[in-house]
Chain A
Amino acid sequence: MKATNYKTLIVASLISLACTTRVSEWVLLNALPNQYTLIYFDKNPVTETVKMQNKEVVDRMKTANIQFKTVVRNEVSESWYGLYYEDRLFARYKTPPETKTLISSPLREKVASELMSGKLCVMVYLKTDNKEKDDIGRITLQKALGASPFGNIISVVELSRNSKEESLFASLLLNVEDDLKDISEPMLFGVFGRFKALEPLLGKGITEENINLMIDYLTAECSCLIKDDLPGTDILFSGNWDNPTTALLNKIIDDNPALGY
C-alpha cells in the first residue's frame, strides 16, 4: 500500500474516533478554556515600580487562562485592577497582593483533579446557607445520582456562596449568568472539560429529570452542533490539562452499549 493510502486510512480512523467521543471527554481533550483579562487601570503612565509589581502578578498567572493589560485613562481617580471575562467585570482589586488567590484555591484544585482523574463531571452544589432550601436540592441530587448508571463517575462538591476561603470561586460561579448574584436559591453547576461550568439548575429547577438531562448532555456523542456552540463559562484556574486519565465513561458504555444512545 502506498504512503498516501496509509495516511488516508489513519485520518479516516481518527475522524471516526472523534465522532464517537463523548461530549465530556471531547471538551477536556480539545476545548481550550476562554481567557479572562486582568486590567490595570491608572491615571498616569506606569512607573517602574508599578511595572515591577505588575510583572510579578503576570508571572504568577502564567499557567492560568488569563491575560494582563494596562490601561491609562484620565478619568481614573485611583489605580485599580479589574478582572474581566469577555466584556463583563467580575471583580475589582485595589492592590496586587489581592490578586494572589485569583488563579487557584483548594476547592478548585480538588475539582480539577477529579476532572483529570477521568470523572464525567463534577457537580458543584452552591449552597445558600438556608438549611431547609439546601437540603431539598441535596436530597434530589443524591436520589438522581443514586439512580443514574453514571452516578459513580460523577463527583459532588458543596460550596457555600458566603464562603470566605472560596469567595472568588463562588463569585466566578455566580457570574456564569448575570442575574445569579441576585437569586438566593441553591444552584447546581455541572463542571466539565477544562473547568467549564454549565449554566446552573437552580431552586425548583434542581429536579431528577433536569439532573438526568445534564448527565445526558455530558454523555452524548459529541456532534458538530455541540462542538460549535459549547455552553457554559470557563472558570479561572491555573492547571495542567495535559494527559488526563482515560474517561471512566467509556468503560461503562463499552460494558452497556445501550447506555450510549
Chain B
Amino acid sequence: MQDDTISYDTLDTRPLPKWLTDQKSGVNTIQPQKITMREDNSLKISFIATAIIILVAISFLTVYILRRHKDRA
C-alpha cells in the first residue's frame, strides 16, 4: 500500500507491486547461510595450550622434587 504513491506517465512504467519485485529478485525466499572463510587459529591455540600445560607440569614437578630433596636433606 505504501508503494502506490510513486507517479508514472504510462501504465507500462507503473511500478510493479513490491511482493512481485521481491519474488522476482528472490528476496522472499529463504536465503542459504553464507559461508565465509575465517583464519584457522586452532593449531596455534593448541600449541600455546600444550606449552602452558607442559610449563605448569614442569614447574609443579620442579617444586615438588626440590621440596622432597629439601626434606631429605
Contact = CB atoms under 8 A, between A and B. Distances in A.
A232 B4 CA distance: 11
Nearest to A184: B11
A198 B23 contact: no
Given A176-B1, A177-B4, A217-B28, A203 B17 contact: no
B27 A225 contact: yes
Contact of A203 (B11, B24, B27, B30): B11
Contact of B18 (A199, A203, A223, A233): A199
Interface of B: 1, 3-5, 11-12, 14, 16-20, 23-24, 27-30
A220 interface: yes
A78 interface: no
A232 B17 CA distance: 9
Interface stretch (A47-55, A153-161, A208-216, A247-255): A208-216
B21 to A, nearest CB: 10
Contacts of A210: 20
Contacts of A31: none
A149 interface: no
Contacts of A98: none
Contacts of B5: 178
Q: Could you say which of B5, B14, B27 has the most chain A C-beta atoms within 10 Å of its C-beta?
A: B14
Given A231-B18, A231-B19, A177 B28 contact: no
Contact of B17 (A183, A199, A223): A199
Contacts, number: 55
Contacts of B11: 183, 185, 202-204
Interface in A149-206: 176-179, 183, 185, 198-205
A217 B4 contact: no
Nearest to A216: B23
Contacts of B30: 220-221, 223
A86 B20 contact: no
B20 A213 contact: yes
A118 B1 CA distance: 27
B28 A220 contact: yes
A226 interface: yes
20 contacts: A176-B1, A177-B3, A177-B4, A179-B14, A183-B11, A199-B1, A199-B4, A199-B18, A199-B19, A205-B16, A214-B19, A216-B23, A220-B30, A221-B29, A223-B28, A223-B29, A226-B28, A231-B17, A232-B19, A233-B1
Given A213-B24, A217-B23, A231-B18, A199 B29 contact: no
B38 to A, nearest CB: 26
A106 to B, nearest CB: 27
Contacts of B23: 213-214, 216-217
A218 B38 CA distance: 37
Given A198-B17, A204-B12, A205-B16, A220 B4 contact: no
A253 to B, nearest CB: 15
Contacts of B27: 225
